[in-house]
Structure 1
Amino acid sequence: MLPSALMVSALTMQPLFAQEDQTLQPVVEVAQETNESAADSQQRINQITDQIDDKLQQFKTLNKEIEGLQVYNTQLQRQIDSQEQEMADLNAAIDEVSVIERQITPLMLRMIEGLEQFVALDVPFLPEERAKRIADLKDMMDRADVAPSEKFRRLMEAYEVEMNYGNDVEAYSGLHTIDGQERDVQFLRIGRTVLLYQSRDGSYQGRWNQQTRQWEELPSSYSSQIAKGLRIAKQQMAPEVMMLPVAITD
């Protein structure tokens, strides 16, 4: 049991502690509110910092994209400049083509006329085929749906065909008037040097004389040689020496 003096002292201290608690309570509450406010402020600061970091990262990403777009735009501009130059070159070429087309059309007409005259004065082999080729060329020149380049190509093909006639051997069938009667014969052409015919039964043969521009009958002694030449031209036998009449030209 406490002494009476200590009990009195304890009793006298309790009002003092109560007063101190009442005095410190507001301070504690203020401190607590301050701490809570500081914690809220720190949280907002952290959020703002995170937002700034995100914005900074977005800014860096956008900068890289902008740099890439600048490089891409530069390359596109070079391509555009190149295409514009190409368009200018094409326009210039189109203008030149128009000029060339106006010049080449009269040239092609003169070439066809020259080819027709050449065929008329040449040895008269394959007359229908060659005449049709020239007629087709004339018809082609009047067609608007055929490009000038295609017209020129076909004309050059016709010239090439005529040129090749001078370097080959050919046998073909046709009709020929003999003694006033039209007969089925075989023609033998050796380049432009020799043009002969022989009837199917071998009883008639003749040659074209380019100097007189007439057909001349040949004796039967040439019959076997002409028949041999026809077989060689048809690739029915190997080439060999033939004794055929050749007109002497001046």
Structure 2
Amino acid sequence: MKLSSLSKASVLLCLSASTVLSPTFAQTRQADTNSQLSSVVSAGQSITESAAESQRKVNQLSEQKLTKLQQFNTVTKELDGLNVYNQQMQAQLDNQMTELSQLADSMEQVSIIERQISPLMARMISTLEEFVVLDVPFLEEERSKRINDLNAMMSRADIAVSEKFRRVLEAYQVEVDYGRTIEAYSGLLTLNGQQTDVDFLRVGRVSLMYQTRDGSQLGQWQQDKQQWQPLSQDYRLGINKALRIARKQLAPDLMLIPLSSTSTSGAE
């Protein structure tokens, strides 16, 4: 069968169009494929980035959890320590409250004690004054001044009761010390109607003697007679030695001095 020229031309035209369209169609399909691959790659990258971000969030939350756990443990330890501390403080507070209660009770008794101790001190001073008057007459001015100071102190409001009581006890202690010490001092004594400068020697309270500066007269206080009694010059060396010992000019040693009784004895 033979085709006409027009049919041949149509066939040739279709073949030519088919030949021209085939590469274009292939290119289009390739472009679609590349686009799909790009979309898949982009989606994969997005998923990867999303997974990485999720992992970062997980890591961050994990770190926060560890930090919170450490903070919780730290706070728990501090709380335990505070509980122990509070228990100790509570125990101290309870003791302080007990002491405050005792102090309150004591303060209630202060006025009563003060009312009792003030008359007691007054009696003690009066007794001390009587004792000094009746005692061996040594350091009369000094001891009288001490008594007068105590009497003046009792009327002062700027001195606490405790300080007043301390001073009264101190005066008693001074008088006690006189009985176990040796002392030499200078003073005036009326001899033969004249004021004479003499050296006094006190040996505790067992003997009170005097010697004039030139050593010409010696004497001893007789407590039972309440007067001075002349002494023999035989005691001069002993009294001189005792005076030097009392003034710390000689080391302590045995010394021969008269006692208040009629007999004589060695005293150290």
TM-score normalised by length of structure 2: 0.74
- Greater Cα offset, 22-31 or 9-18: 9-18
Return the match for 1:57 from 66, 74, 77.
66
Q: After TM superposition, give the deviation of residue 67 of structure 1 in Å.
A: 1.7
1:93 aligns with 2:69: no
| Structure 2 segments unaligned to the other structure (5+ residues) | 1-17, 263-268
Match of residue 115, structure 1, among 111, 120, 128: 128
CA deviation vs aligned residue, 1:23-47 (integer Å, no higher than 9, x gap): 5355334323321321231132022
Match of 1:17 among 2, 26, 30: 26
Corresponding residue SS for 2:258: coil
Q: Does 1:242 align with 2:256?
A: yes
Within the candidate set 223, 229, 245, 1:232 is matched to 245
Paired with 1:80 and 1:211, the residues of 2 have a C-alpha distance of: 69
Taking structure 1 as reference, are residues 173 and 36 closer, same or farther at Cα in structure 2, changes over 3 Å only? same
Q: Which runs of structure 2 are paired with 1:64-213 in the superposition (5 Å)?
A: 64-91=73-100, 92-93=102-103, 95-96=105-106, 99=109, 101-102=113-114, 103-213=116-226
Change (3 A) 1:30 1:123: same
Alpha-carbon contact 1:225-1:244 (below 8 Å) kept: no
How far off is 1:62 after superposition? 1.3
Change (3 A) 1:169 1:130: same
The structure that has the greater radius of gyration is: 2
How far apart in 1 are the matches of 2:98 and 2:156? 29
2-structure distance, mates of 1:120, 1:98 = 39
CA deviation map 1:58-103 (0-9, x unaligned): 2022112212321332243134324423532443236426635524
**Does the 8 Å contact 2:241/2:255 carry over to 1?**
no
CA positional deviation for 1:123: 0.9
Q: How big is each residue's C-alpha offset from its partner over 1:131-187, in whole Å with a ceiling of 9 and x where there is no partner?
A: 222333334444444444444433333222211211122111111111221111111
Could you tell me whether the CA contact under 8 Å between 1:210 and 1:247 is conserved in 2?
A: no
**Alignment coverage as a number of residue pairs:** 241
* RCO comparison, higher one (Cα < 8 Å, 6+): 1
On the 8 A contact 1:125/1:189 being kept in 2, the answer is yes
Counterparts in 2 of 1:10 and 1:237: CA distance versus 1, 3 Å: same
Displacement of 1:242 in angstroms is 1.0
User: How far apart in 2 are the matches of 1:86 and 1:115?
Assistant: 43
Distance 1:118 1:47 in 2: 101
Contact map agreement 1:184 1:200 (CA 8 A) in 2: yes
Change (3 A) 1:125 1:84: same
Secondary structure of 1:242's partner? strand
Counterparts of 1:72 and 1:141, CA distance in 2: 56
How far does the alpha carbon of each residue in 1:210-229 deviate from its partner, in whole angstroms, 9 at most, with x for none? 11222233344544443343
Structure 1 Cα separation of the partners of residues 88 and 260 of structure 2 = 68
CA distance in 1, matches of 2:128, 2:258: 29
Q: Which runs of 5+ in 1 are unaligned?
A: 1-8
